[in-house]
Amino acid sequence: MTSVSIIGGSGYGGGELLRLLLSHPNVEIKQVTSRSHLGEYVYQVHPNLRKRTQLKFSDPAALEPVDILFLAQPHGEAQHHIEEYSKLALKIIDLASDFRLRDAAFYEQWYGEKHAAPEWLNKFVYGLPELHRAEMATANYISGVGCNATASNLALLPLVKADLLDTSSPIFIEIKVGSSEGGAEGNSGSLHAERANVIRTFSAFGHRHTAEVIQELGVKDVSLTMTAVDLVRGVLATAHAKVKPGVANKDLWKAYRAVANENPFVRVVKEQRGIYRVPEPKILAGSNYADLGFELDESNGHIVAMCAIDNLMKGASGSAVQCMNLMMGWDEAAGLEFMGLHPI
Amino acid sequence: MTSVSIIGGSGYGGGELLRLLLSHPNVEIKQVTSRSHLGEYVYQVHPNLRKRTQLKFSDPAALEPVDILFLAQPHGEAQHHIEEYSKLALKIIDLASDFRLRDAAFYEQWYGEKHAAPEWLNKFVYGLPELHRAEMATANYISGVGCNATASNLALLPLVKADLLDTSSPIFIEIKVGSSEGGAEGNSGSLHAERANVIRTFSAFGHRHTAEVIQELGVKDVSLTMTAVDLVRGVLATAHAKVKPGVANKDLWKAYRAVANENPFVRVVKEQRGIYRVPEPKILAGSNYADLGFELDESNGHIVAMCAIDNLMKGASGSAVQCMNLMMGWDEAAGLEFMGLHPI
Amino acid sequence: MTSVSIIGGSGYGGGELLRLLLSHPNVEIKQVTSRSHLGEYVYQVHPNLRKRTQLKFSDPAALEPVDILFLAQPHGEAQHHIEEYSKLALKIIDLASDFRLRDAAFYEQWYGEKHAAPEWLNKFVYGLPELHRAEMATANYISGVGCNATASNLALLPLVKADLLDTSSPIFIEIKVGSSEGGAEGNSGSLHAERANVIRTFSAFGHRHTAEVIQELGVKDVSLTMTAVDLVRGVLATAHAKVKPGVANKDLWKAYRAVANENPFVRVVKEQRGIYRVPEPKILAGSNYADLGFELDESNGHIVAMCAIDNLMKGASGSAVQCMNLMMGWDEAAGLEFMGLHPI
Amino acid sequence: MTSVSIIGGSGYGGGELLRLLLSHPNVEIKQVTSRSHLGEYVYQVHPNLRKRTQLKFSDPAALEPVDILFLAQPHGEAQHHIEEYSKLALKIIDLASDFRLRDAAFYEQWYGEKHAAPEWLNKFVYGLPELHRAEMATANYISGVGCNATASNLALLPLVKADLLDTSSPIFIEIKVGSSEGGAEGNSGSLHAERANVIRTFSAFGHRHTAEVIQELGVKDVSLTMTAVDLVRGVLATAHAKVKPGVANKDLWKAYRAVANENPFVRVVKEQRGIYRVPEPKILAGSNYADLGFELDESNGHIVAMCAIDNLMKGASGSAVQCMNLMMGWDEAAGLEFMGLHPI
């Protein structure tokens, strides 16, 4: 068994990682740290794990060497400790945003502060298997992905790979998100009485995850608009773009099917009947799938490209486990078999 | 007291109209029809009206003359009966979509069928007071408004009135809607277990309400994208457009404030602090306000213009009552005083 | 116009009071205090009030004399300041729990601490009009009501008034509540991601509101069990009790109708058809109604008595305004006309 | 591989069964029938199964022999066809209510009609492993369980097994349920706009599942009260009873722990800290666990016993798979490993 530890296990991303690793056939969890819940059973914070583990949260200062170290801390922590972490484990997977961008100046532009360990930026592979599967096979350091960036990148991936986008037109990506994106800490607006029933466009543009779309897809004129809706888990990205002149539905089908065929966790959802004709995050809770769909207005080339994911799975912990599998040469889907529920 | 009757009182729009008219200082409800609930007390269908009225649903075939007739039927009914209705009442307000478009060919283009009473199209004033207040003072026939069209039209109204839009760029309007838009009949996808927790982009473009935006604002390259979210009442339109070169935040503030000053039910919501910084439909349930907001990306002229309404109020029955007030020369806000709730 | 001020206006009870008083025909709001939001517009905290008032939160230390003073502070504050408050206003209505119980020892038993102003306890009338309407006409001091106590007291009121209860059997009251009961401050369990979708029996017995049921109804063997469900506003009390031998459905109908006839805000809901056959809080949001219902198992005398209210209205601010109306000799329903919404 | 078929695969119970059997290590699904969706891919109805199976719904008239036959039809169907079904498979597991009761007269009393195959009633074992594990090892026919009956039976099981209940006192079981209990067909009250935000006590007593509690636990004076709340999956039973004189918390702990130790899918939840101190269905979505808890009022012997389950899992399809495992001598937990999600 490969030994793994998690730094920062009491947040939502850490809890989801725990769930996945506890049922993973190849790994054994050695330590899970939490300062605020030190000494508590992990199931007291993540009640779904009751009767499945007797692990307790340990002190991050008492970490022992391990095969793989997962970092599930708030943004901005890992870059200050990466040197010490690298002495504890040969392989590191970070779920936070510290090592997602390759360029220090680009990082500073989007995060408004200098990176604390710029020399590490190029050691990390960006953690989206659909874009970096081959590199992961030989990587030791893999970054996390932004959940909104992932929904955006996968929505547009078939169009970019098949070179169907009219890149002279701006791309507007409208993203609707559930409350678990806000994390286990929350703020005054996260209170149920304020957050329930909302349709709240809390960020019109300028969201940090935009940087990951620019870097990974090479698109320039792209904006992400964030709207909170009443749901706990789930993201839907609805991207508005223009296709190149002459691009027709058959070209799109070909492009989407190609991506779905190459990637075990990508599905195309575009049905003519039934209730579930388009990608929807609700049926993805707990699953690692990214469901893609599209509609083309052939009269003007307007394409509406959609991607639905569970922000805590494909948008965070699920992708991290998928990355681990690829990094270790294991079955890409190991530990990620849960299909999602219907109804839910 | 002015006498009013409602044809089609068992649907959601009819119920809301009943609520408003029951507390209106100047009117008396004479008849409310429903075929499917004939003879039942209206409070058995609309339980909020219990202890407020002993009205029963009556037969549409037994309608008596009245001062004002409200039509709250499903789309496509009124155009077949408008001649007979016009003999029952001097003034008619239709909530459905039968008389919203002025041009029969344009109607056919969007509704896919010939209009049954094209000679009546020009007798109706489009029922949005913010666009047709003056005409309403002398009108006898006023149409309804599409709820999604209203959110879209009001989101863009300040930009159009102040001529700030770059009309050479396409306008993408992303609309998020609650389940009451689907009406009291519903379909398989309206079942709670399927409709709860959804983020479902059920129409990428081509929604019929688009026609009302084109007609009323004179914009040409506009699309409405519809996404169902988990909420009962409420619509948020988030419009993406480009402003003309040189347009700055101060121009926008001026344009938005002007519209809010001229219209008692328009408010500008753009705060720097607190939870409620942007327009949100949740606090508008039962109120007739349209809350407008905007964000301008000065680097590229991208404007995100928002409008939140209650689809059954400002998007349907509330606007209809406001139109009645204007048509009758009454206080524009009579019967529409409810402020909405917080929290909810 | 009668002048009123509110101490503690930024909480949910205070906000609802503001909404009601702003549309009340006989009063003028002089001051609204809040330490945490000092100087802010009240609409920045209660966004439904935008365009309806330009009031700002003022300093509680700068209160001026007024006709009626409303206290909407957290529990335990008012008892320490009641002497000074009584110098500011001849009439005081407290929404908190400080002056609900008449007996200092009983208070200590349920609140676990000595009361700071026991000599004031007997000056207050318990603020439920359905029980103390006559006394209110001459009162200067009226207490608040616990929302769960109110749902419980009104569920059982017809049975107690008509002496139909078998008091030798225990009464179990199962109460389901929305999240606004938790207040605007909240706790870790109030976070949307944790509070959404819950059915959480957070208090099996021993809830403080039980004391108000014992005091007001004179029942002894009664317990309240509290379960949080996914809703913002609303309480449903489902009381299980035994009726005296021989009590039949017709006796119950008579008892319930009598209470509904005597009280403008009480309705009986017991239908044989339609969707809304029993009391339900969802249609009561914003309304001051208490909807009562019952089912009797004639085989064993088991009665299930139900009461639905909006916890912020009939369970708090609505009752407070109703008390003010009675105390001032005004129309009991003034300012409380809103009917509630359907659907919602 | 053992071959299995499902009759009635398009409902919620059938869909959940499909999900579980598709990932079960020992079985292969041969046929899944549906009249209304004949010829459609199962993933068009159960969208979570996309990319996991290419099965299509087949005609129930074309069923082939198989090792195990699952019946997931509406109530009242199976009893008319059990003879023919028994010729298709040696082993049958029925999810409906047709074969849950052992006594034909008792069946008629609760279902209001004569049973069509009374001679089959005694061939079936009641499908709750926690009560009939040993018999299942040699059974060929296993019945389904009512979801509300299961929550009730498991809530009381430790008290009954340890003989701690005062059976001279009535037992009131308050059950709160999500919308998936209503099934995929629904009714007018199942429409999202009507069903959202509800707290609806739709059955005060007399629910058919009561019969299963009486039969299985041997209690006599028991009633189930059903309240619909806003949730898709989940049931919480909160049972009010009296314990025998002298029974203390330590006796209860012993009784509950014993049941949890004997049953892999039973957990005791009774924490002093954290958010999740009591059983809650929300974290059980998709899992087969039954979470039990209790609170004892030592002053009067009032016990509040709780059980939370996912109605489609432990309350239906999960228990059915657990029964299959026991009937076949397989690992009791095979195919039922999913832990549930947090947050959700």
Closest listed residue to residue D230, CA positions, set D285, D183, D278, D193? D193
- The reply to whether C195 touches chain A by the CB within 8 Å rule is yes
Return the SS3 of D2: strand
Rounded to a whole number of angstroms, the distance between the first and last alpha carbons of chain B is 35
Return the SS3 of A30: strand
Cross-chain residue pair C341–B267, CB shorter than 8 Å: no
What pLDDT is stored for residue C186 in this prediction? 83
Rounded CA-CA distance B98/B113 in Å is 12
Task: Look at residue A289 and tell me whether its pLDDT is greater than 90.
Answer: yes
Known catalytic residues of D are 147
Of the residues B63, B147, B211, B296, which is catalytic? Answer: B147
Where do runs of H (alpha helix) occur along D124-199? 129-136, 147-161, 192-195
Rounded CA-CA distance C144/C324 in Å is 11
Amino acid at position B215, single letter: Q
Residues 259-318 of C with CB under 8 A from B: 267, 269, 271, 273-276, 280, 283-287, 289, 291
Rounded CA-CA distance A133/A153 in Å is 15
What pLDDT band is residue A188 in, cutting at 50, 70 and 90?
Answer: confident
A232 interaction partners in chain C (CB closer than 8 Å): 192-193, 196-197
- Within 10 A of C168 (CB to CB), how many other CB atoms are there? 8
Give the mean pLDDT of chain D: 97
Rounded to a whole number of angstroms, the distance between the first and last alpha carbons of chain A is 35
Q: What is the ipTM of this complex?
A: 0.96
User: Do the Cβ atoms of A240 and A173 come closer than 8 Å?
Assistant: yes
- CA angle (C226, C107, C313) in 5-degree steps: 50
What pLDDT is stored for residue A186 in this prediction? 83
- The reply to whether D15 touches chain A by the CB within 8 Å rule is yes
Q: Rounded mean pLDDT of D329-344?
A: 98
User: Do the Cβ atoms of B174 and B240 come closer than 8 Å?
Assistant: yes
Return the SS3 of D122: helix
Rounded CA-CA distance D329/D250 in Å is 35
Q: Which helix (H) or strand (E) holds C201?
A: strand C199-203
Closest listed residue to residue D313, CA positions, set D156, D150, D153, D143? D150
According to DSSP, the β-strands at B290-297 and B266-268 are parallel
Closest listed residue to residue A109, CA positions, set A223, A213, A221, A206? A206
What pLDDT is stored for residue B187 in this prediction? 84
What pLDDT band is residue D69 in, cutting at 50, 70 and 90?
Answer: very high
Task: Look at residue D187 and tell me whether its pLDDT is greater than 90.
Answer: no
User: Do the Cβ atoms of B143 and B107 come closer than 8 Å?
Assistant: no
Give the mean pLDDT of chain B: 97
Return the SS3 of D48: helix
pTM: predicted TM-score of the whole model, two decimal places: 0.97
- The reply to whether C232 touches chain A by the CB within 8 Å rule is yes
Q: How far is D55 from chain C (nearest CA, A)?
A: 33
Give, as one character, the DSSP assignment of residue C278. S
pLDDT tens digits, residue range A29-72? 999 999 999 999 999 999 999 999 999 999 999 999 999 999 99
- The reply to whether B194 touches chain A by the CB within 8 Å rule is yes
Rounded CA-CA distance B78/B90 in Å is 16
pLDDT tens digits, residue range D131-181? 999 999 999 999 999 999 999 999 999 999 999 999 999 999 999 999 999
Rounded CA-CA distance B191/A56 in Å is 42
Q: Rounded mean pLDDT of B88-100?
A: 98
Task: Look at residue B206 and tell me whether its pLDDT is greater than 90.
Answer: yes
Tokens of B202: 């059920």
What pLDDT is stored for residue C188 in this prediction? 84
What pLDDT is stored for residue B188 in this prediction? 84
What pLDDT is stored for residue C213 in this prediction? 98
Cross-chain residue pair D342–A50, CB shorter than 8 Å: no
Q: Rounded mean pLDDT of B89-113?
A: 98
- The reply to whether D148 touches chain C by the CB within 8 Å rule is no
The rounded percent of chain A whose pLDDT value lies above 70 is 100
- Within 10 A of B272 (CB to CB), how many other CB atoms are there? 6
Rounded CA-CA distance D320/D332 in Å is 11
Tokens of A114: 């200098």
Rounded to a whole number of angstroms, the distance between the first and last alpha carbons of chain C is 35
Q: Is it true that the peptide bond before B60 is cis, omega within 30 degrees of 0?
A: no
Rounded CA-CA distance A37/A11 in Å is 10
- The reply to whether D230 touches chain B by the CB within 8 Å rule is yes
Residues 6 or more apart from A162 whose CB is under 8 A from it?
Answer: A251, A254, A255, A258
pLDDT tens digits, residue range B295-338? 999 999 999 999 999 999 999 999 999 999 999 999 999 999 99
What pLDDT is stored for residue C151 in this prediction? 98
Rounded CA-CA distance C149/C210 in Å is 6
A285 interaction partners in chain C (CB closer than 8 Å): none
Give, as one character, the DSSP assignment of residue C314. I
Q: Rounded mean pLDDT of B260-273?
A: 97
Specify which residues B236 forms β-bridges with.
Answer: B176, B308
What pLDDT is stored for residue C50 in this prediction? 98
- In the sheet with C141-142, reading across from the earlier edge strand, the strands are C57-58, C27-33, C2-7, C66-71, C89-94, C141-142
DSSP per position, D177-196: E-GGGGTTT--GGGBHHHHT
What pLDDT band is residue B75 in, cutting at 50, 70 and 90?
Answer: very high
Rounded CA-CA distance D178/D235 in Å is 7
What pLDDT is stored for residue B185 in this prediction? 85
User: Do the Cβ atoms of D191 and D140 come closer than 8 Å?
Assistant: no
Task: Look at residue B186 and tell me whether its pLDDT is greater than 90.
Answer: no
Cross-chain residue pair A196–C193, CB shorter than 8 Å: no
User: Do the Cβ atoms of D290 and D155 come closer than 8 Å?
Assistant: no
Q: What sign does the dihedral C209-C210-C214-C219 (CA atoms) show?
A: positive
A52 interaction partners in chain D (CB closer than 8 Å): 339
Task: Look at residue A89 and tell me whether its pLDDT is greater than 90.
Answer: yes
Q: Rounded mean pLDDT of A209-214?
A: 98
According to DSSP, the β-strands at D222-229 and D199-203 are antiparallel
According to DSSP, the β-strands at B235-242 and D27-33 are unpaired
- Within 10 A of C331 (CB to CB), how many other CB atoms are there? 14
What pLDDT is stored for residue B14 in this prediction? 97
Q: Which helix (H) or strand (E) holds A92?
A: strand A89-94
Rounded CA-CA distance A15/B57 in Å is 55
Low pLDDT (below 70) residues in chain C:
none
Residues 6 or more apart from B295 whose CB is under 8 A from it?
Answer: A204, A205, B303, B304
Rounded CA-CA distance A136/A124 in Å is 10
Of the residues A63, A147, A247, A313, which is catalytic? Answer: A147
Which chains reach chain C with 3 or more Cβ–Cβ distances below 8 angstroms?
Answer: A, B, D
Return the SS3 of C188: helix
Rounded CA-CA distance D278/D291 in Å is 8
User: Do the Cβ atoms of B94 and B78 come closer than 8 Å?
Assistant: yes
Reduced 3-state DSSP string for chain B: CEEEEEECCCCHHHHHHHHHHHCCCCEEEEEEECCCCCCCEHHHHCHHHCCCCCCEEECHHHCCCEEEEEECCCCCCHHHHHHHHHHHEEEEEECCCCCCCCCHHHHHHHHCCCCCCHHHHHHCECCCHHHHHHHHCCCCEECCCCHHHHHHHHHHHHHHHCCCECCCCCEEEEEEECHHHHCCCCCHHHEHHHHCCCEEEEECCCCCCHHHHHHHHCCCCEEEEEEEECCCCCEEEEEEEEECCCCCHHHHHHHHHHHHHHCCCEEECCCCCCCCCCCCHHHHCCCCCEEEEEEEECCCCEEEEEEEECCCHHHHHHHHHHHHHHHHCCCCCCCCCCCCCCCC
Rounded CA-CA distance C97/C113 in Å is 13
